[in-house]
């Protein structure tokens, strides 16, 4: 999916970001972005591994098959975004808004989320396995086939969301034997 020689510098990428609406197959690992406007951009098959996003405008962002694993996302807005088949595994996300977004079939496994808003979003078939939530809101969301197997959850709201067709477990609800059999440990 990624070309090994597709890594570019932050300066090269920022120049590209100003002129291109669609960006494909770039390796943007280990970069830092502060106050950058990503709004309305389309990213396909891009690698954002270990990237730091701070104070970024990501409204109306489109991501397809992108890797945002081990990222740090602070004080960003992803409102009205369309993010599908992407992985945020191991990300630390704080003070960030994903409201009114299409977040379909994404991997949020192992995330640490603090003050994160997913309200009014469609999270169909996404996964939050072994995640830590503190002040995370999933109000009025489509959670059909979404898996929540949280390690820690404090001040989490699922108000007016369809939790009955989601898989909702916490670390205390399964025996060690069942966790091993399901592949959680």
Question: Two tokens at 80?
Answer: 């009205």
Strand partners, 104: 84
Tokens 């389309």 belong to which residue?
42
Give the model's pLDDT for residue 146. Answer: 97
Q: What value does the mean pLDDT take over residues 78-86?
A: 98
Dist CA 49 CA 7 (whole Å): 12
pLDDT digits (tens, 9 = 90+) for 90-125: 999 999 999 999 999 999 999 999 999 999 999 999
Please state the pTM of the whole predicted model: 0.90
Long-range Cβ contact pairs of 65-71 (< 8 A, separation 24 or more)? 65/1
Dist CA 93 CA 72 (whole Å): 6
pLDDT digits (tens, 9 = 90+) for 22-68: 999 999 999 999 999 999 999 999 999 999 999 999 999 999 999 99
Q: Is the pLDDT of residue 159 over 80?
A: yes
Coil, helix or strand at residue 8: coil
Dist CA 158 CA 144 (whole Å): 13
* b (16+ CB within 10 A) / e for 55-65: ebbbbbbbbee
**Domains of the chain and any CATH numbers:** 10-182 (2.160.20)
Give the model's pLDDT for residue 171. Answer: 60
């Amino acid at each position: 999916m990624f070309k090994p020689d597709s890594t570019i510098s932050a300066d090269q990428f920022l120049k590209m970001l100003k002129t291109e609406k669609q960006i494909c197959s770039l390796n943007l690992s280990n970069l830092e972005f502060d106050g950058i406007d990503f709004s309305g951009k389309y990213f396909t098959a891009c690698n954002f591994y270990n990237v730091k996003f701070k104070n970024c405008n990501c409204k109306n962002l489109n991501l397809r098959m992108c890797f945002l694993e081990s990222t740090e996302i602070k004080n960003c807005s992803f409102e009205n975004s369309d993010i599908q088949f992407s992985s945020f595994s191991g990300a630390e996300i704080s003070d960030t808004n994903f409201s009114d977004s299409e977040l379909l079939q994404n991997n949020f496994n192992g995330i640490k989320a603090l003050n994160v808003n997913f309200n009014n979003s469609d999270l169909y078939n996404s996964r939050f396995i072994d995640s830590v939530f503190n002040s995370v809101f999933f109000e009025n969301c489509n959670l059909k086939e979404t898996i929540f197997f949280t390690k820690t959850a404090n001040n989490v709201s699922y108000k007016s969301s369809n939790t009955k067709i989601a898989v909702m477990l916490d670390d205390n609800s399964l025996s060690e034997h069942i966790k091993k059999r399901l592949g959680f440990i």
